[in-house]
Amino acid sequence: MYVNKIYSKKFILPALIIFFLLFLLPSILGFYYSLTNWNSMSENIKFIGLANFKEIFSDTGNFIFMKNTLMYAFFTTVLKVIIGLGLALMLNEGIKSKGLLRTIYFLPIIISNLIVGIMFQQVLHPANGILNHALEFIGLSSWTQAWLEDPSWVMWSTIGVEVWKSAGFVMIIFLAGLQTVPKETIEASDMDGANYWNKLIKIIVPSIAPSILINTLLSIISGLKVFDVIFALTNGGPGRFSEVINITIFNQFSMGNYGYSTALGVIMFIFLAIISIGIIMIFTRKETNS
Amino acid sequence: MKKRKRYLNITKEVFAWVLSLVILVPFLMVLLNSVKSVTEAATMSLALPTEIKFSNYVEVLKDKRIYTSFFNSLFLSTAASLITLIVSSMAAFVISRNRSRFNMVIYSIFLLGLVAPMNYVTTMKVMQILNIINTYTGVYLLYSAIFIPFTVFLYFGFIGSIPKELDEAAVIDGCKGGGLFYKIIFPLLKPVTVTAVIINFLNCWNDFVIPLYFLNSSGKWGMIMVMYNYFSTYISSWNLVSAAMILNLLPIIIVYAIGQKYIISGMTAGAVKG
């Protein structure tokens, strides 16, 4: 009683109302509208059951965006975690200009994805782009590609841009995690003459397991939700070869197929909700322990 | 042994700097081309300009849309981050201090917002019903709704480290509810407040997805959106596009340079503390 009086629930209300009305409610409404033929052409919205979902899964042309989304989420996560860990281990000790380097590696994460996209359209340009020029310069002319125009390369290019953008963020989380590695154990293993690889696998990686988990989960989630980087870089092209689910949602929205677009949103919601429940369980379990 | 280690560290440092070029060179490319002539900038190469033309910037700054969009960005980012900060700190305070089962359920609902995707189409419907579609109010409230989960999460972790005895002492002295929070607790939250404001401000400033979906009238667009428009209008004048990009990067880099410590600590706290 006493606690409820000082810490009035009224304080939670403003945040909850804004969040509920403009985030939660639309998601809940999505479940209803995904079962309708809602579109920009007709005024009345008709209930059509699971027809939208049937259409999504029976249209074989749609497999490409499902494949692309999963491929993007998977490979950006693997590459970001490996490269981020590599950068963190490199900067963790022994380097004098660590602070400045950290600032540079982290820089891309705060730049608007639109600028990153437009910038990399030029970097990856087949004839003029500096990436192909650099490859030619070091004698690897055969490696040059039409990075954004070649259907077999375009997804890898978008993955590369995301890794360029976010590896520094992953690095920062690993750097924080590396501070928890017990110094005594490392020193003891040095005495025993352990080599670096052994120390990495047996001591460092186990003690930074929490940051590996967090980085993996965050990367998977942001990978599945990706929109702006790919929109600015290729807008899903050439054809639909770099289309991911959020691009499809936007295109269907622009065409006025609201019901269909919402159904896609619901599929994404369910997919991510399963992952998020797992994460919340991890978060709250830690909270009650402390 | 010691000598070998020092040698190794120097190699590592040189390698780290070479690697940092991967990050820096694309920015350098934009900077170089922003002072070239149209023909030289057509290839967006790393070649030095034969003549440094600041006139590109003058040309871009002649466009009045730059100014209105700058103030639009400033207004939207400020409004969104202030509202988010006020409502989130209050909510996190009560949830953190009174961890009843009910409050923890609410906290979980907020956390869901960190992961769940937004449903843009139905959000449009709700905004139509609330009559805030295509308005500033609608947009900054929408940004707040998106930022609240992360901000509540950030405050929740920090408030836990402030001793509860402080509240008790204040209550005995006659401070209640709002007074207790604003006079005693809120000033102590300054570090996390600065972090939250900077991160939300930058996220809002950089975003172009919300205007793409929800702001049809170009008069209300922020800088990033206007640059996007500029990019499609001047697609063949890369010198002007580059100058516009640099003008867009400037405010962001200034904020980063000043608030770097807070940005990094906030982002890692958000990720690690959880």
A262-271, B35-44, B48-57, B263-272, range with the lowest pLDDT? B263-272
Question: Of A117, A235, A114, which Cα lies nearest the Cα of B226?
Answer: A114
Chain A nearest CA to B52, separation (Å): 21
Chain B nearest CA to A238, separation (Å): 18
b vs e for A172-200, b when ≥16 Cβ sit within 10 Å of the residue's Cβ? bbbbbbbeebeeeeeeeeeeeeeeeeebe
Rounded to the nearest integer, the mean pLDDT of chain B is 87
Asked whether residue B123 carries a pLDDT value surpassing 60, the answer given is: yes
**Residues paired with A131 in a beta bridge:** none
pLDDT, one tens digit per residue, over B74-113 is 999 999 999 999 999 999 999 998 889 999 999 999 988 8
Structure confidence at residue B274 as a pLDDT band (50, 70, 90): very low
What residues contact residue A196 under an 8 Å CB cut-off, 6+ apart? none
Residue B26, preceding bond cis, omega within 30 degrees? Answer: no
Q: Cβ B45–A218 below 8 Å, yes or no?
A: no
Chain B residues near residue A122 by CB distance under 8 angstroms? 29, 44, 238
Cβ–Cβ under 8 Å, residues A247 and A231: yes
CA angle, A126 then A131 then A132, to 5°: 50
pTM across the whole model: 0.89
Concatenate the DSSP letters of all residues of A89-152 into one string.
HHHHSS-TTHHHHHHHHHGGGGS-HHHHHHHHHHHT-TTT-HHHHHHHHTT-GGG---TTT-TT
Q: Does B8 touch chain A (CB under 8 A)?
A: yes
**Residues paired with A47 in a beta bridge:** A36
pLDDT, one tens digit per residue, over B174-223 is 777 777 888 888 898 988 899 899 999 999 999 989 988 888 777 888 88
Q: Kindly give the parts of chain A with pLDDT less than 50.
A: 1, 287, 289-290
> What is the rounded CA–CA span in Å between residue B105 and residue B112?
11
For chain B, percent of residues with pLDDT exceeding 70: 98
Query: What is the pLDDT at residue B270?
Result: 65
Asked whether residue B2 carries a pLDDT value surpassing 80, the answer given is: no
Chain B residues near residue A5 by CB distance under 8 angstroms? 177
- The helix (run of H) or strand (run of E) holding residue B152 is helix B136-159
> What is the rounded CA–CA span in Å between residue A157 and residue A229?
11
Question: Of A107, A151, A155, A160, which Cα lies nearest the Cα of A131?
Answer: A160
> What is the rounded CA–CA span in Å between residue B265 and residue B97?
23
The nearest alpha carbon in chain B to A122 belongs to B44
> What is the rounded CA–CA span in Å between residue B116 and residue A274?
10
Residues listed for chain A: 290
> What is the rounded CA–CA span in Å between residue A227 and residue A229?
6
